[in-house]
Structure 1
């Protein structure tokens, strides 16, 4: 039995064990797949360990890069500050870091911006007057005539029905 254990240990020790202790993303703002509904002026990616100062971050919309006003690396955090809030659409954060152990790592974090329209835009929409180009004096006169004819016909039908009801009572 001890021979079997020795052989098993020898086999296990003969294969080098690869320990993967690289840093990973602990969380980000925005998070992966998140839908942002307000103005976003800063993007942050936090890692489980410190990262090197030469690490970089990009913000992409489709294949267009949206430049950051400033990018900073603070211990285990990559921070990108934007000039102006993002418009509605799909985005992805692309990060390239060098971990403290010297290993380069990359990744992407997709997210979406779906803000409601601003108050000014809402007011402009509610104050919009819809002009019907088909409205002419003739059409207005025709509509008025149609209304009068409908009212007269309705009154005549009511009188006729009333007459039948009264005649029916007198006979019975």
Structure 2
């Protein structure tokens, strides 16, 4: 092999290794697997909201906020909810201490796993 071929092989190998490293790091971030109620669902008043993630959460760094969407699109934060980890630490549960009224509700979450990288998301559901 001449020097040019060796250099090309080295560059290709380095690019492949970098691609594998980036892919493994990207896959390590936490993601939302399931939610109850689900996005865009029309439901009766729930007693809790559950967000199930792909890995264990760090509770002190994770959160779930619930807002009612009022006429005109204004958000009003729902008070008196208690957020905890349940089961194997992958489920963030918001227990609702007061029943929710008819309307559209917006869930906004922040989840942090063992890698300390925060992931965020949001969705809405409707109570009829």
**TM-score of the pair, normalised by structure 1:** 0.58
Residue 96, structure 1, aligned to residue 103, structure 2 = no
Gaps of 5+ in 2: 70-74
Structure 1 residues 7 and 110: CA distance shift in structure 2, 3 A? same
Distance 1:25 1:34 in 2: 16
Matches within 5 A, 1:24-63: 24-36=31-43, 38-54=44-60, 55-62=62-69, 63=75
TM-fit CA distance, 1:8: 2.4
Greater RCO structure (CA 8 Å; 6+ sep): 2
Distance 1:14 1:57 in 2: 35
Aligned-residue CA RMSD in angstroms? 2.4
Matches within 5 A, 1:1-172: 3=5, 5-13=9-17, 17-18=21-22, 19-20=25-26, 21-36=28-43, 38-54=44-60, 55-62=62-69, 63-74=75-86, 75-114=89-128
Structure 1 residues 39 and 100: CA distance shift in structure 2, 3 A? same
Higher Cα radius of gyration: 1
**TM-score of the pair, normalised by structure 2:** 0.75
What is the number of residues matched between the two proteins?
113
